[in-house]
């Protein structure tokens, strides 16, 4: 739910940035084909850029301060790999406000899409209600509709009281033929569909209006150019302008057809009088490139996540294997949308990301949602011959649904390095224990397979009870997770430095 809301927010910002440049530098400029491309590009970029995710290149060591500030907002909900995540939360007792907001927004979207589909069906049905003729390989539907003439897909819907053989009729026909041959209907349908679904984005409404006007500018230009052959171009333009003033019908939202008399007449008349030999500067046209690059830089690149390094660094390189328990069809314990396999993997990955600051080299037994046997996990670890092995778990203890958090560490006295294991466990407990944790203990004879079979010092960590929402915040809350993983790594360092 949060990921959807974040996507919509980012989409609004991206479309807002690109729309602002259009309104400032491109609107009402005689760059009709370029403007059509730009507006369609704005729609595509607003849908695609929020989904992109890249890492900073290792060459880039420092992020500019201004960009850090923007990215801090843009990546409020993201993991350190750059993939945007929904913050995991235990299910609430009632319906959340975010669910209500999204449900209402979705209902409105459904109604708008239904209205658009109704309009499309209505226009298509007209072809079977009125006589059809063919003009220049294009089907012309002779109607008695006051809103005609208009075009949709490969058909022109003509008003039978409007003579087609007159000069005005011929110019209108050329205008509608331009819409069809330029395939403007497809632009309009895509724009109106996105506006219907993401109606909350105010810039989509602006883009829809401007795209329709650009379509009219293109069709007007081609109609005048075709009819000026053999006559004065100025006279043809004046005649076309007079013809535009002949009638005017109000536009209807989400009307898929191109209505000849429905667009704002003043802008079309102004554009007809604009000197088409004057072209916008190269800067005006090419500014889309840095704009796109800038929005990608802000929203698609994840800056290195800030870490809370407390200055405890190992004197020598420590090799640590971190085992994210369970995986695949083995969910472990679960509560609502939370599963032990996902929580343990999230902790393991964050330890991996923080470890270099502590001079620790971390290897994960699994980096994705795969199922591994205990033998496979042990083989992986023992082949690396690490200094330590940590197995990450969460618990499901009866009666722990409320109250303080629990943080238990288990060791196995039969481990080949039992003394080192005990030293490791108590060092982690020393750093990880906090007032909000209940009394913690290093326990013996727990899970002998993963602990007893390890050739290195090994400990099993249980982080809280999965049914306790407050305890799970140590994993689901990014700040608390960073703090927890930092304390675990500090304990590993202390076990080796002393």
Q: What structural domains does the chain harbor?
A: 2-297 (no CATH), 318-497 (3.40.630.40)
Query: DSSP character for 149?
Result: S
Hey, CA dihedral for 44, 97, 113, 199, is it positive or negative? negative
- 332: region left, alpha or beta (phi > 0 left; psi from -120 to 50 alpha): left
CA distance 453 to 436: 33
Query: DSSP character for 23?
Result: I
CA distance 137 to 150: 17
ω into 149 cis (within 30 of 0): yes
Q: How far is CA 14 from CA 55, 82, 275, in A?
A: 20, 18, 32
List Cβ neighbours of 365 (8 Å cut-off, separation of 6 or more).
Answer: 321, 322, 323, 324, 372, 376, 377, 380, 381
List Cβ neighbours of 396 (8 Å cut-off, separation of 6 or more).
Answer: 333, 335, 340, 465, 466, 467
**Number of residues in the chain:** 498
Q: What share of the chain is helix, strand, coil (3-state, %, to 5)?
A: 50, 15, 35
**SS3 at position 71:** helix
Put simply, whether the predicted model's pTM sits higher than 0.75 gets the answer: no
CA distance 59 to 53: 18
CA distance 18 to 25: 11
- Compute the radius of gyration of the chain from its Cα atoms: 33
Nearest by Cα to 81 from 56, 45, 58, 46: 56
Show pLDDT as tens, one digit a residue, over the chain (498 residues).
567 888 888 899 999 999 998 898 888 888 888 899 999 999 999 999 888 766 554 434 444 444 444 444 444 434 333 333 333 333 344 566 777 888 899 999 999 999 999 999 999 999 889 999 888 888 999 998 888 888 998 899 988 888 888 777 888 888 889 999 999 999 999 999 999 999 999 999 999 999 998 998 888 888 777 655 545 455 556 656 666 655 444 445 556 665 555 556 667 767 766 655 444 456 667 777 777 787 777 766 655 554 454 557 888 999 999 999 999 999 999 998 999 999 999 999 999 999 998 999 999 999 999 999 999 999 999 999 999 999 999 988 776 556 566 778 888 888 889 889 989 988 888 887 765 555 555 554 455 688 888 999 999 998 888 988 888 888 988 888 988 899 999 999 999 987
In a 10 Å sphere around its CB, with 0-12 CB exposed, 13-18 middle and 19+ buried, how is residue 10 labelled? buried
List Cβ neighbours of 401 (8 Å cut-off, separation of 6 or more).
Answer: 465, 467, 468
Nearest by Cα to 260 from 184, 141, 151: 151
List Cβ neighbours of 360 (8 Å cut-off, separation of 6 or more).
Answer: 314, 317, 318, 319, 320, 489, 492, 493
**SS3 at position 478:** helix
User: What is the CB neighbour count within 10 angstroms for residue 430?
Assistant: 13
CA distance 170 to 160: 14
List Cβ neighbours of 177 (8 Å cut-off, separation of 6 or more).
Answer: 136, 138, 156
CA distance 157 to 268: 21
Residue 389: half-sphere exposure toward Cβ, Cα within 13 Å = 33
């Amino acid at each position: 739910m949060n990921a959807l809301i974040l996507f919509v927010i980012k989409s609004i910002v991206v479309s807002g940035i690109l729309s602002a440049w259009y309104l400032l530098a491109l609107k009402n400029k005689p760059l009709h084909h370029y403007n059509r491309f730009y507006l369609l590009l704005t729609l595509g970029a607003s849908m695609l850029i929020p989904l992109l995710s890249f890492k900073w290149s290792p060459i880039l060591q420092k992020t500019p301060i201004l960009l850090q500030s923007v990215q801090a907002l843009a990546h409020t909900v993201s993991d350190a790999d750059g993939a945007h995540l929904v913050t995991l939360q235990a299910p609430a007792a009632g319906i959340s406000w975010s669910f209500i907001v999204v449900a209402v927004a979705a209902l409105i979207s459904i109604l708008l899409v239904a209205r658009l589909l109704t309009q499309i069906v209505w226009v298509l049905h007209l072809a079977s209600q009125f006589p059809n003729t063919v003009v220049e390989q294009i089907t012309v539907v002779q109607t008695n509709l006051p809103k005609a003439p208009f075009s949709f897909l490969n058909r022109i819907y003509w008003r039978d009281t409007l003579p087609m053989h007159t000069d005005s009729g011929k110019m209108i026909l050329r205008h509608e033929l331009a819409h069809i041959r330029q395939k403007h209907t497809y632009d309009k349908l895509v724009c109106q569909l996105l506006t219907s679904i993401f109606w909350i984005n105010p810039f989509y409404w602006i883009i829809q209006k401007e795209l329709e006007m650009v379509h009219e500018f293109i069709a007007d230009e081609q109609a005048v150019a075709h009819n000026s052959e053999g006559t004065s171009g100025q006279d043809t333009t004046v005649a076309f302008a007079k013809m535009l003033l002949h009638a005017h019908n109000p536009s209807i939202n989400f009307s898929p057809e191109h209505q000849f008399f429905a667009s704002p007449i003043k802008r079309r008349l102004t554009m007809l009088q604009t000197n088409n030999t004057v072209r916008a500067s190269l800067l005006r046209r090419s500014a889309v490139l840095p704009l796109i690059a800038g929005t990608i830089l802000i929203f698609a690149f994840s800056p290195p996540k800030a870490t809370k390094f407390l200055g405890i660094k190992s004197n020598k390189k420590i090799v640590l294997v971190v085992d994210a328990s369970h995986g695949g069809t083995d969910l472990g314990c679960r509560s609502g949308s939370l599963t032990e396999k996902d929580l343990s993997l999230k902790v393991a990955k964050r330890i991996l990301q923080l470890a270099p600051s502590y001079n620790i080299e971390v290897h994960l037994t699994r980096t994705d949602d795969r199922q591994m046997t205990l033998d496979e996990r042990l083989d992986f670890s023992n082949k690396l011959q690490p200094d330590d092995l940590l197995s990450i778990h969460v618990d499901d203890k009866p009666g722990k649904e409320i109250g303080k958090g629990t943080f238990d560490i288990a060791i196995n006295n039969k481990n080949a390095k039992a003394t080192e294991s005990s030293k490791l466990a108590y060092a982690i407990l020393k750093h990880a224990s906090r007032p909000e944790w209940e009394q913690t203990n290093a326990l013996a004879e727990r899970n002998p397979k993963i602990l007893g079979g390890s050739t290195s010092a090994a400990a099993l960590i249980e982080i809280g009870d999965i049914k306790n929402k407050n305890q799970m915040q140590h994993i689901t809350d990014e700040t608390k997770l960073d703090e927890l993983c930092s304390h675990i790594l500090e304990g590993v360092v202390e076990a080796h430095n002393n």
